[in-house]
Chain A
Amino acid sequence: MSRCHFLSRQERVLLQTPMSSHQVLICRNYKGDVDMSEIDHFFTLLMQQEEEGLVCPVMSHGNVHFLWIKHSNLYLVATTNKNSNASLVYAFLYKLVEVFTEYFKELEEESIQDNFVVVYELLDELMDFGFPQTTDSKILQEYITQKGNKLEVAKTKVPTTVTNAVSWRSEGIKYKKNEVFIDVIESINVLVNANGSVMSSDIVGSIKLKTMLSGMPELRLGLNDRMLFALTGRKNQTILHCLSDELMKRISPTNVKPLIWIESVIEKFSHSRVEIMVKAKGQFKKQSVANNVEIRVPVPSDADSPKFKTSTGHAKYVPEKNLVVWSIKSFPGGKEFLMRAHFGLPSVENHELEGRPPITVKFEIPYFTVSGIQVRYMKIIEKSGYQALPWVRYITQSGDYQLRTNS
């Protein structure tokens, strides 16, 4: 990657001709082998592709390739004239977003303009001459702070991390209480067809660690299912995708029911009203409880005067997203709840075609895993030989959970 741009684009939609203006917010030229004006071609290409309806995350102009991602109203564009590894570039761009979000809470045009000094500093440390350098935000935060205008002469001390042999962890970390928090998280992806048949359902499992361990420990994690991961004192958070065959086999679509089953009837009477009936059923064991359940039901964009009736929780109309959000704080397994909604429709029909967005569901079930994965042991070995406490937590949550509707 030879350059990285932050661009913003506000779309000014005039009534007759959609116009768009763009502006390069910040640009860091790492290698100097791509001409600065090349970025102008990016927007020409992008607009051209948008018109044709065939946008692609890789675009080429001559020898220069643009790899871009969009984050809220920002475009992050990497330009390169090499045939580089695309997944790495995208992963790096997302890493940038992650780092900046940790620094500024939200990454958007304003936060970049307000913090451009830190942005420059970070871009300098994250990459040099087109090669990723220090990208761990925990380490970056040790020596690049946001309180830039505070003058501290003493602050010029170097963090040991950047001069260490171990780049991902500072030396001499000390905790009073040595603990490891292990989160075993399973995200459920479900796709249900309009006629109620389950098209696909699978689980993406991940294990997240939050370690509060002194020194340079070596961690060994033992799981059932003959899966074993050895981690050597790595980052505070290590995410392992465990999508091994053993897991996949158990979670074949035939025997995994969607944990929250939705039946919906959406009746649209043109020019007068829409009536929605949604039935939700918890298809998991009675002892478990799903928390913060949110069922999002799409409604036509021209609907008005909402009326709701729910057997539990409460429903809310979100007009800017054309949704009814039905939230239920706690949803015990095996229970069934009902929501009815009634909307008015204008007598003058909207001629624009609308897509048929699916119903989506969000939930979280603590102390429960679908796959039955279990942490058998967690060994922590450190020179000083301290005892550390491992805490394990199991959570099953919704991933991409979609149920298609008829209307």
Chain B
Amino acid sequence: MPYFGSEEMVKELKRALSNPNVQADRLRYKNYITKVIRYMTQGLDVSALFMDMVKASATVDIAQKKLVYLYMCTYASDKPDLALLAINTLRKDCADPNPMVRGLALRNMCNFRMPGMTEYIEQPIVAGLRDKASYVRRVAVLGCAKMHSLQPNTDIDGTIVNELYALLRDPDPVVVVNCLRALEEILKDEGGVVINKPIAHHLLNRMKDLDSWAQSEVLTFLLRYRPRSDDELFDILSLLDSFLQSAHAHVAVATLRLFLQLASAHPAVQADALLCTSAPLLATCGAASRELRFAGLCHVQQVMRSQPGLFGTHYKRFFCGYSEPTYIKFRKMEILVELVNDENVALVLEELRSYCTDVSPELAQAAIAAIGRIAQTYSEKCLDILTGLLALKQDHITSAVIQMFRDLVWFCPQSTAAVCQTVEACVDSPQDSEQALLWLLGEHGDQISSAPYVMEGYIDGLKTELSSAVKMELLTASVKMFLCRPAETQDMLGRLLHYCIEEESDVCVRDRALLCYRLLQRGVEETRKVVTGPKSDPSMSVLTGRQEEPISQWASTFNTLGPLSGCDLCPQTAVISAADQPSSSAEKELLPESTDVTLSSPDDTEEEISLSLGPPLSHETFEKMWLDLEILQRQTMGFPRPRTALDTLQAALQLVKIQTLAFTPGATVPWKAYIYTRSTGTLILAELLQGDQHAPGIDESLVVSVKQQPVNQHAIRGFVSILKGVLQTLNVDSS
């Protein structure tokens, strides 16, 4: 922010700093320097003072040195030529007898983010790595990483890397961890620092010397180590056992993650580790700082994906405190819903009931939704509560309750009668829930005696209704109602259709009305066939209710940002390069070996190729490639496409690692489908075509056109034979 008169200020400071009288008086000199930094902090451009500040760095006062260094780091990238002048002073400081000064100078020199810096800092860094003071070594080790980040595309200096690996044995624990951190940065492209057996064992033995930050990071680095034998594995686990109960939440959680990964073949050990960590995790959920509490809750949620019963007895810890922020309360309610069982259901519901009347409408609605989810298992108790809430006559509550009713009726048909009885009472539903109410009225109009009159109210007020979704729901509901109670509905349905067809401006609503009208013209029976579907689908609740997942599903994102932000973020670099060998080129990542399938084709047993899916192609990329490439092979299959449903075909192709991008609907002629797959470094695109007008002779047979990049005839032959195999199998099945 440009301050008024800032130029004057800079000039004045310049005058003062170059004044020999000021320079002689240390205290005054320093005060002026402090002033410069203060302006810099406030966002004022004081880069014009660079020369004067460089001079000020020649002092014995460490605090003053620090200020000047800070100034230089800030403006070095703007004034690279002047910064070079400062380098001499800094290099001199790097040889100072005082290790504090050496460390300080080295750190700041490495912080100069400007091109061409490398040649000046390389020698002091190498000297710093061998310094006898650990303070300087710590700085020098990270300096290596900074130096690399200045020139990210240059070759890696092998000697420095070796030196850093050697420094992993340093007596100072911070130097050890800094070495890991620096190597990780430098070797990023090669998959990061290599953790082999000696290093892993060394780190494990040093664990107790490290501070909590370092422990947590080392545990993350150890994720890439694979023990050779079970004996070694259990030795490692017993060494780490005490860290599961660490007072620092981040250490305990990092240990847990390592346990889960190392013991992936020993489910009993994993379960044991989870049990052990449950206490520290619960303690984190009650931590004084709300952010840590939030992080704890998110991790509890992840653990519960595999072990829903682990926290069952501690459900009371997830009751919300009054002053907790909403994001914590939301998470706690989600957890409570998962923890409900026969013993605690009464207390949990009582607790959730008290949140329903919270001042915050969002919280109240979330609590009602939570009760609604519990209602899918304990419908009776929840229905009582939900019905009781209606009596409060608060719009946001009523609206949420009615929406819950709709879901409940859909999932648990046995509660229909009770819901219908209650709905009877709430005639004037608030906004947002009109659709839900109309659906209930239409679907179960036979059980709600006042249904036609409620609906009539809506039809009369149609002119003032704004939402077209509500209007469409009203149309459907009225038609359904007409089918079960024609005498009461006929008149108003007529009015509704008339209004929607003649006066409605929204095309969608009009079309829906016309559809209903024409449907009714075909007769009642015809309409009934179309309009009335299943009234409930209890099997759907299986989908919404969580099943126990294997631990490996979430272990890879455990203790990252993922669980907190709710979505799966890019995996941590440590996980990508989890393999022991650091050489993982981009090519290999595209073709994950583990998902490869090897198929021997039925026709030609000699040709064996493996296909893999790899990352999905977007429609645009496919289209572009399809247009660019030449057709390499066109083959007539000699049989029509399988008569199975299209998703069966898609699933079958998926099974042999062929991805379906798009296909035309079943009955259209010509029928087309676009598919693709990958095989040993090539991408294969193909089109399936049936009923091409230009080639009427082969009407009934399927034609496959294949394009490929780069060309590999062997792969194409393999691909075609696999494809043929699948299609033939499907044909046999369907006939």
Q: Chain A residues in contact with chain B, CB under 8 A? A: 25-26, 31-33, 53-58, 60, 65, 67-69, 82-88, 90-94, 116-117, 120-121, 124, 128-129, 131-136, 143, 148-149, 151, 153, 155-158, 162-168, 189, 191, 193-194, 199-200, 202, 204, 232, 239-241, 243-245, 248, 253, 353-358, 400, 402, 404
Contacts and interface: CB of A to CB of B under 8 A. Distances in A.
A156 B60 contact: yes
Contact of B248 (A91, A200, A248): A91
A216 to B, nearest CB: 12
Contacts of A153: 60-61
Contacts of B216: 85, 88
A58 to B, nearest CB: 5
B10 interface: no
For A31, A56, A57, A165, the residue with the greatest tally of chain B CB atoms inside 10 Å of its CB is A57
A33 B319 CA distance: 41
Contacts of B527: none
Interface string B302-323: 0000000000000011010111
Interface in B585-615: none
A282 B98 CA distance: 61
B70 A400 contact: no
A167 B206 CA distance: 13
Nearest to A90: B291
For B145, B146, B291, the residue with the greatest tally of chain A CB atoms inside 10 Å of its CB is B291
Contacts of A53: 326, 360, 362
B37 interface: yes
A54 B327 contact: yes
Given A83-B560, A87-B253, A116-B38, A158 B100 contact: yes
B27 interface: yes
A158 to B, nearest CB: 5
18 contacts: A32-B149, A60-B565, A68-B291, A69-B291, A85-B559, A86-B561, A87-B249, A131-B217, A158-B100, A167-B174, A193-B351, A194-B354, A240-B247, A243-B282, A243-B283, A253-B316, A356-B322, A358-B322
B570 A241 contact: no
Contacts of B326: 53-55
A241 B283 contact: yes
Contact of B178 (A88, A94, A124, A131): A131
A313 B336 CA distance: 40
B213 A400 contact: no
B134 A162 contact: yes
B286 A353 contact: no
B26 interface: yes
Contacts of A148: 63
Contacts of A163: 99, 133-135
A199 B346 CA distance: 12
For B214, B250, B559, the residue with the greatest tally of chain A CB atoms inside 10 Å of its CB is B250
Contacts of B531: none
Nearest to A155: B62
Contact of A156 (B101, B354, B565, B573): B101
A115 to B, nearest CB: 11
B66 A199 contact: no
Contact of B279 (A88, A245, A356): A245
A55 B330 CA distance: 11
Interface string B164-196: 000000011110011001000000000000000
B289 interface: yes
Given A53-B326, A90-B291, A199-B347, 10 more contacts: A32-B149, A55-B325, A55-B326, A87-B292, A91-B292, A129-B181, A131-B178, A149-B27, A156-B101, A404-B322
For A132, A153, A245, the residue with the greatest tally of chain B CB atoms inside 10 Å of its CB is A132
Contacts of A54: 326-327, 362
B412 to A, nearest CB: 28
Contact of A87 (B279, B284, B571): B284
A253 B52 CA distance: 69
Contacts of A355: 322, 358-359
Given A94-B289, A128-B142, A358-B322, A243 B66 contact: no
B98 A156 contact: yes
B98 A129 contact: no
B564 interface: yes
B138 interface: yes
Contacts of B562: 83
B31 interface: yes
A57 B327 contact: yes
A121 B138 contact: no
Given A32-B113, A85-B216, A135-B211, A400 B286 contact: yes
Contacts of A83: 560-562, 569-573
A132 B360 CA distance: 39
Contact of B27 (A57, A65, A151, A232): A151
Given A158-B133, A199-B351, A202-B317, A167 B173 contact: yes
Contacts of A82: 572-573
A132 B218 CA distance: 13
B208 interface: yes
A167 B211 contact: yes
A129 B146 contact: yes
B488 interface: no
Nearest to A49: B327
Given A90-B292, A92-B213, A204 B135 contact: no
Interface string B23-43: 000110011001001100100
Nearest to B214: A132
Contacts of A232: 208
Contacts of B138: 128, 133
B700 to A, nearest CB: 53
Interface in B131-150: 133-135, 138-139, 142, 145-146, 149
Contacts of A248: 279
Contacts of A168: 211
A200 B279 contact: no
B63 A117 contact: yes
A55 B316 contact: no
B294 interface: yes
Given A156-B60, A158-B133, A167-B174, A57 B564 contact: yes
B280 A243 contact: yes
Contact of A193 (B139, B181, B354): B354
B319 A191 contact: yes
A117 B217 CA distance: 30
B560 A85 contact: yes
Interface string B107-144: 10000010000000000000000000111001100100
A166 B206 CA distance: 12
B466 to A, nearest CB: 22
Contact of A128 (B107, B209, B362): B107
Contacts of B292: 87, 90-91, 94
B555 interface: no
B295 interface: yes
B258 interface: no
Shortest beta-carbon contacts, A-B, top 10 = A200-B316, A132-B213, A87-B250, A88-B250, A162-B135, A163-B133, A165-B171, A57-B291, A90-B291, A243-B279
A202 B314 CA distance: 10
Given A69-B289, A91-B292, A404 B62 contact: no
B382 interface: no
A26 B40 CA distance: 10
Contacts of A87: 249-250, 253, 284, 292, 295-296, 299, 559
A353 B360 CA distance: 9
B350 interface: yes
B67 interface: yes
A241 B212 CA distance: 15
B441 to A, nearest CB: 31
Contacts of B286: 189, 204, 400
A23 B279 CA distance: 41
A308 B282 CA distance: 41
A158 B99 contact: yes
Nearest to A132: B213
